[in-house]
Amino acid sequence: MTVRPLPSSTPSAQGVDASGVLAFLDAVEAAEGIEPHSLMVLRHGHVVAAGWWAPYTPDRLHLLYSLSKSFTATATGLAVAEGLIRLDDPVISYFPEFEADITDPRSRAMRVRHLASMTSGHEAETYERAAALDPEELVRGFLLLPPERDPGTVFAYNQPATYTLAAILQRVTGRSLTAYLRPRLLDPLGIGEVAWLTDRRGRELGFSGLHGTTDAVARLGQLYLRGGVWEDRRLLSRAWVAEATRALIPTAGAMGDTDREDWDRGYGFQFWQSRHGYRGDGAYGQFCLVLPEQDAVLAVTAATTDMQALLNLVWQHLLPAFRPGPPAGPQDAETALADRLARLSLPAAPGRAAPPDRTGEWSAAEFAPYGGVRAGLPGLTGAAVNANADGWTLTLVEHGHRLDLRLRPGGWSVAEEPVPTAVSGGWTDRDTLAVDIAFLETPHRLRVACSLPGRTLTARWGTEPLHGGPLRSLRAPRRPV
């Protein structure tokens, strides 16, 4: 499929102050604990600013974590319109094989709309408890867990609720979420490749695991901003868009954190209300921000454990950049912004070339996890450093599986196999090799250090992966050849 680019324009032609976008770039790059990966700004249906911080690129799939939920919600809206499901159907009616097991009256009273709005009646996340009740079938484990309150009366962010919604969709359509969405949403929007993680049953997760480009996120936001219409073709009903994106249930205090103002505004069908507009979001800073009052959409990918801080910078710098007419700022700001967006890059980790007088000791050196294998993070059993004709290679070992990483001090070394990575770093002193490994289809970076005197290895995550698995799994799923 040929993907047509979104319409583009200069910021001023769409009433956007380029100085505000520049101020946001300055702020996000200066913010401690925020690693930006991409930004797209749409106003009046036009891309007015887009940039990717190298080594991240426009065509790179990126793990969206819970922003996946908004795509699942969209599939739900399509299935409702086609008469495949009804929001007021009992959830148990879609799983007759569990009918005899599910005896709690609140579980039996749970409706499809309660799954979509995170109002199953449970007062907290149920994933671990549901998985413990049935490790092989999360839907059954979830339905076996009696809600503490009546469904529809309390909000709790709850992964099995969305998983069960996704399971219903895959059951009634007879297809994966991706296959169902392809002709109804992805192709009409011009979204190219996407990939969704599956569980051991082969189901796409629904609540997480979708990998897509920043452009795909922007297109979904634009569809909702336009009330479900794309290029004069209605894809979603206006009623669905309105219901999915309004506050169906209060969320204040539900996340157990007093500094989450943008999570205390209410929840719709897999969309959050924000201080401004509404949004889909995913762990570590994956955002689809829809701003109806400004007629704007923002798509962001990042790596941060402080998502509220990132949103605060958006409201502080980008929101005021949207003007009712052409901005009065200096004209050279647009030239500066275009140049800046073309040169965005993440700084490489510090490090020098191998110390010349220690190359013999470093070459073929092997390292064991500091404190033993059980202390290894994220499960590394060893590492080795080797010199070759092309330079140096760091090899990480996980229980017999090798990940060879080429070192290029002073910059990023990008490789696609066996997992897409960008590596930077080098020797910080004669005895220490320190390397950052960015797993390019995720928001995750691993920092590894090898110490020559003790032949020990340490490793720590910047943002820790939430799906588990070995390093080689930190990539978008690939279709079988």
- Structural domain contains residue 447: yes
pLDDT in tens, 12-24: 999 999 999 999 9
Residue 368 sits in a domain whose CATH number is 2.40.128
Say what the pLDDT of residue 249 is: 96
- Structural domain contains residue 296: yes
Its domain, for residue 395, covers 356-473
Residue 246 sits in a domain whose CATH number is 3.40.710.10
Say what the pLDDT of residue 4 is: 85
Say what the pLDDT of residue 466 is: 96
Say what the pLDDT of residue 410 is: 87
Q: Name residues of the chain where pLDDT drops below 70.
A: 1-2, 254-259, 328-330, 372-378, 479-481
**Does 328 lie in the same domain as 379?**
no
Say what the pLDDT of residue 128 is: 97
Length of the chain (residues): 481
- DSSP for 163-175, please give it: HHHHHHHHHHHSS
Please, are residues 223 and 297 in contact by the beta-carbon 8 Å criterion? no
Domains of the chain: total: 2
**Does 460 lie in the same domain as 415?**
yes
Half-sphere exposure of 386 (CA within 13 A, CB side): 12
**Does 217 lie in the same domain as 278?**
yes
**Does 276 lie in the same domain as 191?**
yes
- Strand partners for 48: none
- Structural domain contains residue 121: no
Classify the C-alpha dihedral 90-95-99-102 as positive or negative.
negative
Quote the DSSP letter at residue 50.
Answer: E
- Structural domain contains residue 305: yes
Quote the DSSP letter at residue 328.
Answer: -
Determine the residue type at 293: E
Q: 14, 27, 70, 37: which is closest to 278 by C-alpha? A: 70
**Does 372 lie in the same domain as 321?**
no
The burial class, CB within 10 Å (0-12 / 13-18 / 19+), for 117 is buried
**Does 261 lie in the same domain as 230?**
yes
**Does 384 lie in the same domain as 291?**
no
pTM: 0.96
Q: Report d(CA 480, CA 238) in Å as an integer.
A: 37
Q: Report d(CA 291, CA 224) in Å as an integer.
A: 10
Q: Report d(CA 420, CA 472) in Å as an integer.
A: 9
**Does 210 lie in the same domain as 188?**
yes
**Does 312 lie in the same domain as 171?**
yes
Of 291, 316, 342, the residue at which a domain comes to its end is: 342
Say what the pLDDT of residue 388 is: 85
Please, are residues 405 and 25 in contact by the beta-carbon 8 Å criterion? no
Task: List CB contacts of 432: < 8 A, sequence separation 6 or more.
Answer: 449, 450, 451, 452
Half-sphere exposure of 277 (CA within 13 A, CB side): 23
